[in-house]
Homo-oligomer: A and B are copies of this chain.
């Protein structure tokens, strides 16, 4: 192999294995969506801002929307695993509470600025809001399925899962706007307690 070919090969490998390329692309995308609007931002601009190529972008994301929803798969896995790992004696709603609280591993203090920026972009765009609804419906279905695997029958499985999503949404919103340093899991516990008060009323 000539020296030129080797360099080209190294260059190509570097393009393929940029350290934390996905993270850099996400950061660049969010900044552009926030500054110029989601609709107006192109993949070429995101790649340029991240100092990467469009090809690298498409190696990590199918489109510019996926940049915002990549994390929802990880979130669902985290919550479902925690429901499955809840003590055998836990009631359905207790298992759901354990599951939703586990999302605190993602929603921690360092991730909040990113989460706030993402939320603002989504709230400005009806198409993205629809996508968020679809992801929450998918999470609800996965939660109900996890409860069924624990032997919970319907409609208890479905109602517990949907109640868990309601608590998740309230907890997430409070965590997002909080500056008291309370943890996400604490907001979940508060939400479950409030749900109990509300439904027993």
Contact = CB atoms under 8 A, between A and B. Distances in A.
Interface of A: 91-94, 130, 133-134, 137, 154-156, 158-160, 162-163, 165-167, 169-170, 174, 191, 194-201
B191 A155 contact: yes
B156 A162 contact: no
Contact of A155 (B130, B159, B162, B170): B170
A162 B162 contact: yes
Interface majority SS (helix, strand, loop, mixed), chain A: helix
A94 B199 CA distance: 9
B162 A194 contact: no
A201 B91 contact: yes
Contact of A162 (B137, B154, B166, B200): B166
The quantity of this chain's copies bound in the complex is: 2
B199 A170 contact: no
A152 to B, nearest CB: 9
A113 to B, nearest CB: 24
Contacts of A197: 156
Contacts of A94: 201
B92 A198 contact: yes
A199 B167 CA distance: 12
